[in-house]
Chains A and B, each alone.
Chain A
């Protein structure tokens, strides 16, 4: 994920990716831990900071990268770009640019699962900023009212664009946001993938067994600006470096692996090499995939035009 995001950042810098591009660097443990707790057929939906979620859902790096460059080979054939991709095959329902919209959509997806009685759950990801949207609370109410199988994952990376949580939220402990609806909530160290996985296991079990929604507040941090065009002047270098050096989720995993001797330094290097190859290939694919035909502009607007 991190290598993919770094590569996307490079392609953006080279002008191959245009428009808005939001990187997930620093937050990787969240989606990794949550997805590990899901089973096949469970639904996933998130906002615009979505590349890592798609990779974690098993979508191909090639298809994601080619959507970033707006090419034919992208998951939405160049129609959506970085923020708007879907995969029916991998149960990934976007990629949403409108902050908060995904929370209600995800609740609706969960209602469909409940209706079908298929024992699937819907992981609905959103940010600390999105957590203030009114429709989130309309959804919380309905989700608990009808005990829908939805896990609300709040990715609290401390900032909504340039606005720190405390500047926009009266209650900054976001896991408490479900209390008045009767939705259990839990705060989790979102930089620790095992902690995330453990909390997710509990939440998923709760939802899958018909007990209704569950809120997981993931305390995490984004290293980069909000999007590629944000120099992040609203926080200090020291603040970022402090997290990078002491709480980095990938360093933590590396240390766990090494300490437990699950793998050697060489094994990890080998994995790193394979990851790099996949990412490099995706960049090549995204550069070489043709632009969609201009007639594509008019397809998929209405089924019958």
Chain B
């Protein structure tokens, strides 16, 4: 099977949906002629023409709003917001329009918009190129929130998102575009070519929204996470020699509580982890739900591994980023509790 990195997998997903459905259009800043700053839309304008893959000015508010208008008339726009840190001019449109058109029109109109946007740190991007703002979007009833952790899922989830009649905010952890990252700051780059999830078919397939994946089965401890930290958690579990069960949420909203609860009821110990700041991060929601459903199975307080409650720093990125070391430390604490 062909191997692809995450960018190539996303590119392939868009290629597939453009080919199958004339209603799919792709646009965003630098997304057309240039093929995207990370190259995700490379070659697509050439192949499908200017009408279907085009550049937008630097106008996040209008990009989101126009996608909504387009989608209400039957198109399936895939809008790229160049970095998740820049989505906020369009945030109002997501909150006030995108998420509610269906509700507001009592189902007469749906808005199947997919917003793709690279997120996350670990690339020394500093304050304005490193954010993980997914929690803001999980607080908006009416949008789905997705974050893949590998090329195979990236393609399958993106196709599922585009084909979904609901709007989807699709976060792409840019740190792992080119290879998985174990959370050790100076670790040599590894490529997706040697990772099983780097094998990505050229054809159409989907990975269902709302279904988590157990990426490592284990009996002692459950780690619930998504995006880049899936790989950090895996490496930490191996290094610490703790038999952790690691759950990659893949879809953050709606999240797969069934899989989480089954695991927690088995292990009795849980860590939730994300890169975003701690206060009101998505981990808080997970923990609340876990204690509601699994309270009597818990043998230790649920722990959180997160970014800190500060802007993303330029210096000391590795003190901020939840790396392997912090995982191992927290895993030990939870095991000893």
Contact = CB atoms under 8 A, between A and B. Distances in A.
B209 to A, nearest CB: 30
A161 to B, nearest CB: 5
A130 interface: yes
B309 to A, nearest CB: 7
Contacts of A292: 315-316
B34 A168 contact: no
A163 B55 contact: yes
Contacts of B55: 163, 167-168
Contact of A71 (B34, B86, B123, B315): B315
A207 B192 CA distance: 57
Range class of the A interface residue count: 35 or more
B59 A134 contact: yes
A161 B126 contact: no
Interface string B39-65: 000000000000000011111011000
Nearest to A71: B315
Contact of B34 (A83, A163, A291): A163
A155 B106 CA distance: 47
A83 to B, nearest CB: 7
Interface in B218-254: none
B89 A97 contact: no
Contacts of B127: 79-81, 83-84, 97
A273 to B, nearest CB: 32
Interface in B15-51: 29-30, 32-34, 37
B314 A70 contact: yes
Contacts of A168: 55-58
B62 A97 contact: no
Contacts of A133: 58-59, 89
Contacts of B88: 98
A160 interface: yes
A296 interface: yes
B310 A83 contact: no
Interface of B: 29-30, 32-34, 37, 55-59, 61-62, 85-86, 88-89, 123-129, 308-311, 313-316, 319-320
Given A82-B126, A163-B55, 5 more contacts: A18-B124, A20-B125, A20-B126, A70-B315, A80-B314
5 contacts: A19-B123, A79-B127, A79-B311, A134-B61, A296-B315
Q: Which 5 A-B pairs have the closest CB atoms?
A: A97-B128, A162-B34, A78-B315, A81-B314, A70-B315
